[in-house]
Structure 1
Amino acid sequence: MNALRTPDKRFERLLDYPFAPHYVEVDGLRMHYVDEGPSDASPVLMMHGEPSWSYLYRHMIPICAAAGHRVIAPDLIGFGKSDKPTDINAYSYQSHMDWMQAFLEQTDLQNITLVCQDWGSLLGLRLAAENPDRFRAIVVGNGMLPTGDQPVPKAFQLWKNFALYSPWFPIARIINAGSFRTLGPDERRAYDAPFPDKKYKAGARAFPKLVPVTPDNPASAANREAWKVLEQWKKPFLTTFSNGDPITRGGDRYMQERIPGAKNQPHTTLTGGHFLQEDSPVEFAGAINALLARLDESDQT
């Protein structure tokens, strides 16, 4: 397929992003990921969503790595330093699943703690359900695994139409609008860095239309099968939603009721908008570290 690769110079001297690049090849495409912390530690897989990239986790990666965890933060195909197919039809829910499955197999990650938000949850929760032996725990902030059987918030429908039809799709401004705090100019430059012009944005525009919003969506059946696994999931499942996200509001309670591993977990509500990694990164990372400390202590007793 025809794909673009953002020039490396676009990523030079980004604020608070000193991480060395790592790459794997999936389906002929180069996929980038951050890999920080002890190489022999159990991995924390931080998955971003729409329309961000691993830069979203820049404040959380060092906190979790300093606590002794190996932190892996991939850029989904079409985002960040990963290759970007130019045809919007090259992107489907299943193609993203296949790319991430290939990533898991090539890196051979085991004993994973999944940390996910937005589309990172749509992909990550499916990955965990389809590869349960690889995963140790799950932490979800502002995310869900929809099947098309539940009502969709009006805010999402508006967002979907904007992504598909607006001639103007300003990545950094979108992320700024979804955060409580105001991003600085260097941060906005970093979020715009992967997308030199509109030809690079097909993946970002595609994501909203791929969310299953009807029961007959091509991904709905697979997501229902994933829910069958999650409804039997007894490993730790922690929710860390924010108090200001109109799109995913209430999803935390829904998952707490349906997933056994959520029982008796110290679920928390963080301050922030949709991009809670921008608004409460220290608290978000602290919740992850606290969960893993409890798990490590339990393993030793």
Structure 2
Amino acid sequence: MPELTEHQVVVNGVRLHYVAAGPRDGPPAVLLHGFPEFWRAWERQIGPLARAGFRVVVPDLRGYNLSEKPPGVAAYRVGRLQADVAALIHALGYGRAHVVGHDWGGIIAWALAVRQPEVVDRLVILNAPHPAAVRRVFRKPAQWFRSWYIFFFQLPWLPERFLRRFGRWALRGTNPAAYTEEDRRLYEEAWAQPGAATGMINYYRALFRFRREGQDPLVRVPTLVLWGERDVALLPELASGLERWVPDVRVIRFPRASHWIMRDEPVRVNNLLMEFLST
């Protein structure tokens, strides 16, 4: 990675930690991590994007690592998470930015593009379902079976203990070099931050406890979807038929990549990111 600078900023009533790299006058690209990661999820993308001239901004989402961890499940509703990102873009002095999201970061990025498209220049989604596709595909028993952990996360305290003790085993890609032992150690340190385990799992608890506000799911910004087809949690068909809700979309599938697509095939992912965000 290139030289990183670390920052703290209060946005939408919450203090977020983020790292930044690349020229300050470059086009901004905000990278949003998923569960159970933090900003280092993008360590193989930050350098290439920064060297290509982008101002790369990578926050720890609320509840994660060094960002603030507000109490209560309601603090982790999708609307609040999406508002964090919009407020971050504005706090950094930008009217709009490229937004790239994986897993929960992708869910937040979809929500941002639906609700506040004026702040999104181009959208890139990695293995995160569009909200309308969720309603369609999650009716299928095969997807419910893959999503068993969501129900487990509704329990009190037990999921937190499970995450701290066994979370490292979730970080396994199809590429043997996807996660090193040092990577796993750093993730365990992030999960051990006071309140982090509960904050992270509250994302899933909020999904069950709060119904999403009615919203037209149409995404009106240019969108690239990258999908690892060996995802053990999400069916590949979640990336199908998106043209109904995302008129300007390109979907590229990675037959040999897992859920951790940017770790399994970083070179191809990076090339596609730079090509798409530069046009």
TM range (shorter): 0.7 to 0.9
- 1:159–1:208 CA contact under 8 A, matched in 2: no
Partner of residue 233, structure 2: 247
User: Take 2:168 and 2:36, find their aligned partners in 1: how far apart are those partners?
Assistant: 10
Q: 1:190 aligns with which of 186, 189, 199?
A: 186
Q: 1:173 aligns with which of 168, 175, 191?
A: 168
Q: Which blocks of at least 5 consecutive residues in structure 1 are unaligned?
A: 1-15, 296-301
Q: 1:289 aligns with which of 251, 271, 274?
A: 274
Matched, 1:130 2:126: no
Partner of residue 211, structure 2: 218
- 1:270–1:276 CA contact under 8 A, matched in 2: no
* 1:174-210: CA deviation from partner (whole Å, max 9, x where unpaired): 5414x22453221101111222267431111112233
Partner of residue 91, structure 1: 76
How much is the aligned-residue C-alpha RMSD, in angstroms?
Answer: 2.6
- 1:45–1:115 CA contact under 8 A, matched in 2: yes
How much has 1:168 moved relative to structure 2? 1.4
User: Take 2:203 and 2:258, find their aligned partners in 1: how far apart are those partners?
Assistant: 19
Q: 1:154 aligns with which of 135, 141, 144?
A: 144
Partner of residue 101, structure 1: 86
User: Take 2:171 and 2:41, find their aligned partners in 1: how far apart are those partners?
Assistant: 12
SS in 2 for 1:160: helix
User: Take 1:200 and 1:55, find their aligned partners in 2: how far apart are those partners?
Assistant: 16
- 1:86–1:200 CA contact under 8 A, matched in 2: no
SS in 1 for 2:190: coil
Q: 1:277 aligns with which of 242, 262, 266?
A: 262
Partner of residue 20, structure 2: 35
Matched, 1:139 2:124: yes
Partner of residue 49, structure 1: 34
User: Take 1:27 and 1:134, find their aligned partners in 2: how far apart are those partners?
Assistant: 15
How much has 1:93 moved relative to structure 2? 2.2
SS in 1 for 2:20: strand
Q: 2:154 aligns with which of 157, 161, 164?
A: 164
How much has 1:288 moved relative to structure 2? 0.7
Under a length normalisation based on structure 2, what TM-score does the superposition of the two structures give?
A: 0.84
Cα distance change on mapping 1:289 and 1:169 into 2, 3 Å:
same
User: Take 1:218 and 1:54, find their aligned partners in 2: how far apart are those partners?
Assistant: 28
User: Take 1:150 and 1:266, find their aligned partners in 2: how far apart are those partners?
Assistant: 18
- 1:54–1:73 CA contact under 8 A, matched in 2: yes
AA aligned to 2:245 is R
Residue identity over aligned pairs, in percent, reads 21
Under a length normalisation based on structure 1, what TM-score does the superposition of the two structures give?
A: 0.78
- 1:270–1:283 CA contact under 8 A, matched in 2: no
